[in-house]
Amino acid sequence: MDKIKIKGGKSLEGKIYISGAKNAALPLICASLLTDETVTLTNMPMLSDIKAMNALLEQLGTKIDEFDDFVDGHSTKTYSYRTKEATSLTAPYDYVRKMRASYYVLGPLLARYGKCELSLPGGCAIGARPMDIHLNSLEQMGANIEIKNGYIYASVEKRLKGAHIIFPLVSVGATCNILMAAVLAEGRTILENAAKEPEISDLAHLLNKMGAKIDGIGTSILTIEGVDKLNGATHKVIADRIEAGSYAVAAAITRGCIELVNALPFTLKRPLHILRDMGVKITENGNSITIDARGCTLIGKDIMTEPFPGFPTDLQAQFLALMLTADGASMVTETIFENRFMHVPELLRMGANINVHGHASAIVRGVKRLSGAQVMATDLRASFALILAGLVAEGETIVNRVYHLDRGYERLEEKLRGVGADIERIKESDEE
């Protein structure tokens, strides 16, 4: 397995291009299953999760074409997807265990073909992550759901029916899945307490381009008038707010200055507010955000994760790392997932001062210095937090299990090297 080696202590300066969002691209790819025409997605990030989703769709019978592209000043990928007729309606265990987001095929396949068999994703490193809300909602739309041998067998006679669904809690995945199911259902569906993440709005915009009738985009109540058929469309994937937020922290933690090009300030209001409160200078200019922490003494602030527009759980680990370099104490509270402090024991090995209380909160005290170490994390964002700590630690940090980072950070070492970091990938084959 590859590793990343960092020599800490460089203040990062320059520009970083922000890629298309992984968590938007994954449901957008699955939306292509709703039509027999071609759906083209531009500004696609080059990530292992995208490859994994593409492999799953190919297995279902989708024809995929890949093109090199140049969008807003940086090289990217465009993919076109055409599922003239699905050749399989099963998402097998081997695909789903590698990537939970495989469950996004459920809503579209059930809506278009009246049937889907999906391996039930298990829990994962950050929590139990059940699918009960997805399945209860589909049952309210007339689906029969059976769970047997680790698989969900979902079917519907004729067609899904519109329903008034009130989600018991805010779920990004359930909102996307049910939205994709509802666009081809018979009649009107109302989704209350829907998640409002920008990635969901991006999905709704693509679906409307395909001929869906969705109202209330960006709010917690989505109203969908089902249509009989959807057409093809072309869509540019929204910028990755979590990638942008992660590099914003890279600028702040190294007391550097980075311009995040193609980042969308409205998707990052809460994290940018926290950075400003800590003492970082931030300039927003259209689709660019400059994070300037040169010469700053930062003050620790409390953060609590919440559904959008609150502080994102996917930036909790990175901000926790930042608080280690700030004056005073900060309380970090995680309300979305029950096991999302796995970065803490590894940060402690680098000299951090953090006390975790139960599963939900951590008190972080600023320390004078962190020291480089061999570390590893069990999820994507926790792994990035270790990279951040490595950027300011004295000496050398080796981050193991790099495949987590490859799932969600496009060309990570190249982007960080471009702003002056001393970082390199050690390929498994380079090792003795």
Q: Which residue is nearest to ligand EPZ (CB)?
A: 173
Both tokens of residue 232?
A: 């093809």
* Gap between the Cα atoms of 307 and 323, Å rounded: 21
Nearest to residue 238, comparing CAs of 32, 9, 97, 44? 44
Query: Is residue 174 within the footprint of ligand EPZ (CB under 6 A)?
Result: yes
Which of 124, 176, 257, 296 is catalytic? The answer is: 124
User: Nearer Cβ to ligand EPZ, position 288 or 339?
Assistant: 339
**Which residue bears the tokens 């190919």?**
58
Would you count residue 246 as binding ligand EPZ (CB under 6 A)? no
Mark the segment that binds ligand EPZ (CB under 6 A) among 126-134, 150-158, 216-224, 363-371.
126-134
Closest distance between ligand EPZ and the C-beta of residue 282, in Å?
Answer: 23
Q: Is 129 in the site for ligand EPZ (CB under 6 A)?
A: yes
Spatial separation of the C-alpha atoms in residues 366 and 321, rounded to whole Å: 10
List the interface residues with ligand EPZ, window 73-102 (CB under 6 A).
101
Terminal alpha carbon distance of the chain: 13
| Cα separations in angstroms, 431 against 73, 396, 399, 411, 426 | 35, 17, 14, 21, 7
CA 158 to chain centre: 34
Q: Which two tokens stand for residue 152?
A: 């969900």
Annotated active-site residue 296? The verdict is no
Among 25, 109, 172, 352, contact with ligand EPZ (rule: CB under 6 A)? 172
Closest CB to ligand EPZ among 21 and 280? 21
Angle between helices 241-253 and 316-323 (to 10 degrees): 10
User: 172 vs 212, which CB is nearer to ligand EPZ?
Assistant: 172
Are the beta carbons of 376 and 389 closer than 8 angstroms?
Answer: no
- In a 13 Å sphere around the CA of 227, the CA atoms on its Cβ side amount to 16
String of DSSP letters for 161-202: B--EEE-SS--HHHHHHHHHHHTTSBSEEEEES----HHHHH
Residue 98 C-beta: closest distance to ligand EPZ, Å: 13
CB of 380 to ligand EPZ, least distance (A): 5
Q: What three-state secondary structure class fits 216?
A: coil
Stretch (H or E) spanning 285: strand 281-285
CA dist., res. 17 & res. 8, Å (int): 22
At 204, list the tokens. Answer: 């709704």
Instruction: Supply the DSSP symbol for 262.
Output: T
Q: Which is nearer to ligand EPZ, 117 or 243 (CB)?
A: 243
Positions 361 through 380 that interact with ligand EPZ (CB under 6 A) = 380
Cα separation values, 298 from 37, 185, 317, Å: 52, 52, 17
Q: Which residues pair with 68 in a beta bridge?
A: 77
Please, which residues bridge with residue 154 across strands?
Answer: 116, 145
If one asks whether residue 134 binds ligand EPZ (CB under 6 A), the answer comes out as: yes
Report the nearest approach of ligand EPZ to the CB of residue 14 (Å): 25
Out of 381, 389, 390, 415, the only residue in the binding site for ligand EPZ (CB under 6 A) is 381
**Closer CB to ligand EPZ, 198 or 226, in the complex:** 198
256 or 408, CB closer to ligand EPZ? 408
Cβ closest to ligand EPZ, residue 81 vs residue 104: 104
Tell me how far, at minimum, the Cβ of 328 lies from ligand EPZ, in Å. Answer: 28
Residue 202 beta carbon to ligand EPZ: minimum distance, rounded to whole angstroms: 11
Q: How many residues bind ligand EPZ (CB under 6 A)?
A: 24
Binding mask 315-344 for ligand EPZ (x = CB under 6 A): ---------------------xx-------
Instruction: Select from 6, 16, 131, 222 the one that contacts ligand EPZ (CB under 6 A).
Output: 131
The site map against ligand EPZ for 101-120 (x = CB under 6 A) is x-------------------
Least distance in Å: CB of 41 to ligand EPZ? 15
Identify the residue among 72, 88, 130, 266 touching ligand EPZ (CB under 6 A).
130
- Which of the stretches 122-130, 147-155, 352-360, 410-418 binds ligand EPZ when contact is defined by CB under 6 A? 122-130
The C-alpha atoms of residue 195 and residue 385 are separated, in whole angstroms, by 26
> Judged by CB under 6 A, does residue 29 bind ligand EPZ?
no
Nearer to ligand EPZ (CB atom), residue 23 or residue 83: 23
Nearest to 31 by CA among 188, 150, 178: 178
Q: Which of 5, 16, 22 is nearest to 416 (CA)?
A: 16
Contact 192, 185 (CB under 8 A): no
CA distance 421 to 412: 11
- Which residues are catalytically annotated? 124
Q: Using CB under 6 A as the criterion, which residues of the chain lie in contact with ligand EPZ when the complex forms?
A: 23, 26, 101, 127-134, 169, 171-174, 195, 313-314, 336-337, 380-381, 408
